[in-house]
C-alpha cells in the first residue's frame, strides 16, 4: 500500500482524477468501480473534464456503482445512482451497457447481488476500485464487523452510517439497509484507491493506517492490498504519527 498526503482536497482530487484517466488510457476496456459521496465529487468532475480535454477513448470502459441505499429510488437526489448519473455517467454520455448500478428498490435483493457479481466477473473483474471511508471505517457499505470474504451483499447499516448519511438527503430519510460490493471485490481489484479529506476523517484515518488490521475497521484491509493507494489531505493526516 502507498500513502500520499496532499496539501488539500483540490490537490488530492487532481491526483485521483489523473489516476482514473491514466487507467483508462492504459487499458481502454477497464472496469472501474466508483464510490459516491462528498470526497470524490471534485475528482469526478476533473476526471470527466480531463477525459474530454485529452480526448481519451472511453467507449469501452465500464463503470460499476459501489453501493446503494436499500429502499431509495434512483430519482432521489440522495441516492448513489443519482450521484453517479449526475457526476460521471451523464457528463460522459455513457451508454446503458457501459455501466451497472445497484437497484435499491428491487424486490429481489439477493438476485441483484448475483447479477452484479456476474456482471463484474464476466468483464474480467475490477481493474480499479475508488472508495471513500465512512466515519466508522466502512468501505462502501461494508460496515464494522463485516466478513472479508463477501462479494455483493445486503447489510444492516451501522447507526453512524444512517445518521451521517442524512447529509445526502433534502428530507430526513429512513436508512436501514445498504446493498454493496464486498471486501472480496476490493481485495481482488487490481488497484484499490481510497480517498479521505478533512479534519473529521483524521481519527478514522489514524485507526485505518496505524491501528490493528481488523474488520472492526474495514478500511484497514487497504494495508494488505498489494496495489493499494491511499490519497489523503493534510487535515485527514493530521493525527498520523508517521507521515510519508
Any idea which residues carry the catalytic annotation?
A: 67, 136, 138, 143
> Binders of ligand F6R among 71-90, rule CB under 6 A?
80
Residue 35 binds to ligand F6R (criterion: CB under 6 A) = yes
Q: Between 60 and 161, whose beta carbon lies closer to ligand F6R?
A: 161
139 DSSP assignment = B
Cell of 120: 463484474
- Which alpha helices (H) appear in 68-170, and where do they start and end? 80-84, 90-92, 109-122, 159-164
Backbone angles phi, psi at 228, to 5 degrees: -90, 135
Residue 67 binds to ligand F6R (criterion: CB under 6 A) = yes
Q: Between 54 and 75, whose beta carbon lies closer to ligand F6R?
A: 75
Please state, in angstroms and as integers, the Cα–Cα distance from residue 160 to each residue in 53, 115, 141, 166, 206, following that order. 39, 29, 11, 10, 18
> Binders of ligand F6R among 38-57, rule CB under 6 A?
38-39
> Binders of ligand F6R among 113-172, rule CB under 6 A?
131-134, 138-140
Residue 17 binds to ligand F6R (criterion: CB under 6 A) = no
Q: How far is the CB of 19 from ligand F6R (least distance, A)?
A: 17
The rounded distance, in Å, linking the Cα atoms of 110 and 124 is 22
Contacts with ligand F6R, residue ranges (CB under 6 A): 35-39, 66-67, 80, 131-134, 138-140
Amino acid at each position: 500500500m502507498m500513502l500520499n498526503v496532499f496539501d488539500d482536497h483540490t490537490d488530492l482530487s487532481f491526483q485521483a482524477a489523473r489516476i482514473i484517466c491514466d487507467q483508462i488510457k492504459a487499458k481502454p476496456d477497464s472496469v472501474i468501480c466508483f464510490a459516491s459521496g462528498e470526497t470524490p465529487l471534485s475528482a469526478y468532475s476533473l476526471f470527466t473534464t480531463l477525459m474530454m480535454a485529452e480526448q481519451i477513448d472511453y467507449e469501452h470502459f465500464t463503470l460499476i456503482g459501489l453501493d446503494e441505499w436499500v429502499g431509495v429510488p434512483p430519482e432521489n437526489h440522495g441516492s448513489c445512482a443519482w450521484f453517479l448519473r449526475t457526476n460521471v455517467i451523464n457528463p460522459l454520455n455513457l451508454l446503458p451497457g457501459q455501466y451497472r448500478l445497484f437497484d435499491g428498490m428491487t424486490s429481489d435483493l439477493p438476485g441483484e447481488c448475483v447479477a452484479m457479481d456476474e456482471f463484474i466477473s464476466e468483464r474480467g473483474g475490477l481493474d480499479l476500485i475508488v472508495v471513500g471511508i465512512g466515519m466508522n471505517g466502512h468501505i462502501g457499505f461494508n460496515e464494522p464487523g463485516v466478513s472479508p470474504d463477501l462479494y455483493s451483499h445486503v447489510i444492516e447499516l451501522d447507526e453512524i452510517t444512517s445518521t451521517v448519511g442524512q447529509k445526502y438527503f433534502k428530507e430526513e430519510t429512513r436508512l436501514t439497509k445498504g446493498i454493496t460490493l464486498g471486501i472480496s471485490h476490493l481485495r481482488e481489484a487490481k488497484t484499490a484507491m481510497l480517498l479521505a479529506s478533512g479534519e473529521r476523517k483524521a481519527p478514522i484515518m489514524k485507526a485505518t493506517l496505524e491501528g490493528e488490521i481488523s474488520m472492526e475497521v474495514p478500511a484497514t484491509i487497504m494495508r494488505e492490498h498489494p496495489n493499494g493507494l491511499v490519497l489523503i489531505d493534510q487535515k485527514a493526516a493530521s493525527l498520523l504519527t508517521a507521515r510519508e
